[in-house]
């Protein structure tokens, strides 16, 4: 049956581990996989800006021997003339073998999947979910910390609108003994459905407002930017945008082996001086993202390693 990736929980925990294992193998020996997608095409349908996600999908497909086509904003496609996502994917299904879609409206990739003849990957839908960023984050944590179970993970910033945080929390909650420290202003706390799912599963978590108070407990600190594009008014954004700034002084409070991640783009929530700290891993994280997307494309196209 054709498989899509719309929500991180569309993948079982076993499937996630398979993706991560395959991504590790690709990273070790990328040349082995350079022809596995010969003749295949990836469509990137991006109705919202992106640097990492779109380019890493495109690099992933090119590295597998395939080719790419698509658009990078709603205004340079027929969406500008009023075409629906459902009609667009029906059309694109004739041109490509697999598709990654980003859209400002929550649920748009699901609509695409319901009308698609090719696998659809959610590359970020509004303030909802971003499952391939989560695969990237899991691969980064597993590679750098050598485990995921039992870690204390601080997630800081805009937990209300930050789709990467929603997907990450849902996924990490499936690992044993992960503790969450959710650091945000009151107004930017996680949505109720995330809060209630943690409570329902009796997962250890706390919600705090001060980053410096919890720094010493953390094994992973996941920083996020305040999502200006999701605010209803500029005044609220301006009031909240500088809520957290991670700097060298705050890093002094952290464990020596804590890692700092960020889905990027960064605005000012991590001071540039932190980039030189060996615990700053957000640029390494980007690299893992390309390998995990290579693994995802292979798996969703039903391609096995034995075909390399």
Dihedral (C-alpha) 254, 255, 261, 262: value to the nearest 10 degrees? -10
By CB under 6 A, residue 124 contacts ligand CP:
yes
- Residue 62 Cβ vs ligand CP, minimum distance, rounded to whole Å: 17
By CB under 6 A, residue 53 contacts ligand CP:
yes
- Residue 293 Cβ vs ligand CP, minimum distance, rounded to whole Å: 11
**C-beta of 19 vs 46, nearer to ligand CP:** 46
Q: Which stretch binds ligand CP (CB under 6 A): 4-12, 27-35, 45-53, 292-300?
A: 45-53
- Residue 238 Cβ vs ligand CP, minimum distance, rounded to whole Å: 22
129-168 residues in contact with ligand CP (CB under 6 A) are 133
- Residue 140 Cβ vs ligand CP, minimum distance, rounded to whole Å: 12
Could you tell me the two tokens for 201?
């599963």
Among 15, 32, 51, 302, binds ligand CP (CB under 6 A): 51
**Closest C-alpha to 165, from 105, 225, 98, 86:** 225
- Residue 32 Cβ vs ligand CP, minimum distance, rounded to whole Å: 27
Among 44, 47, 50, 126, binds ligand CP (CB under 6 A): 50
- Residue 59 Cβ vs ligand CP, minimum distance, rounded to whole Å: 12
By CB under 6 A, residue 177 contacts ligand CP:
no
By CB under 6 A, residue 229 contacts ligand CP:
no
By CB under 6 A, residue 73 contacts ligand CP:
no
**C-beta of 133 vs 140, nearer to ligand CP:** 133
- Residue 15 Cβ vs ligand CP, minimum distance, rounded to whole Å: 22
By CB under 6 A, residue 281 contacts ligand CP:
no
> Under the rule (CB under 6 A), what is the footprint of ligand CP?
50-53, 124, 133, 263-265
């Amino acid at each position: 049956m054709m498989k899509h990736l719309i929500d991180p929980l569309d993948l079982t925990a076993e499937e996630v581990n398979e993706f991560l294992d395959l991504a590790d193998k690709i990273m070790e020996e990328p040349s082995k996989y350079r022809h596995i997608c010969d003749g295949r095409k990836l469509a990137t349908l991006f109705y919202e800006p992106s640097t990492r996600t779109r380019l890493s999908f495109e690099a992933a497909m090119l590295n597998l021997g395939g080719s790419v086509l698509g658009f990078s904003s709603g205004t340079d496609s027929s969406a500008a003339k009023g075409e629906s996502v459902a009609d667009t994917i029906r059309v694109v299904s004739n041109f490509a073998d697999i598709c990654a879609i980003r859209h400002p409206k929550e649920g748009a990739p699901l609509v695409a999947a319901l009308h698609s003849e090719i696998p659809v990957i959610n590359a970020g839908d509004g303030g909802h979910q971003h499952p391939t960023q989560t695969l990237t984050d899991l691969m980064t944590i597993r590679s750098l910390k050598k485990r995921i179970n039992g870690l204390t993970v601080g997630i800081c910033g805009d937990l209300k609108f930050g789709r990467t945080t929603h997907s990450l929390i849902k996924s990490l909650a499936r690992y044993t003994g992960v503790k969450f420290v959710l650091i945000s202003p009151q107004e930017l706390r996680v949505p109720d459905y995330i809060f209630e799912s943690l409570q329902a599963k009796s997962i250890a978590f706390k919600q705090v407002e001060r980053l410096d108070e919890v720094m010493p407990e953390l094994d992973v600190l996941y920083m996020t930017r305040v999502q200006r594009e999701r605010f209803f008014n500029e005044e609220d954004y301006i009031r909240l945008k500088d809520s957290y700034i991670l700097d060298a002084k705050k890093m002094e409070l952290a464990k020596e082996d804590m890692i700092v991640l960020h889905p990027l783009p960064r605005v000012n929530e991590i001071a540039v001086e932190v980039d030189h700290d060996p615990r700053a891993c957000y640029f390494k994280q980007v690299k893992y993202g390309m390998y995990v997307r290579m693994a995802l494309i292979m798996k969703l196209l039903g391609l096995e390693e034995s075909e390399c």
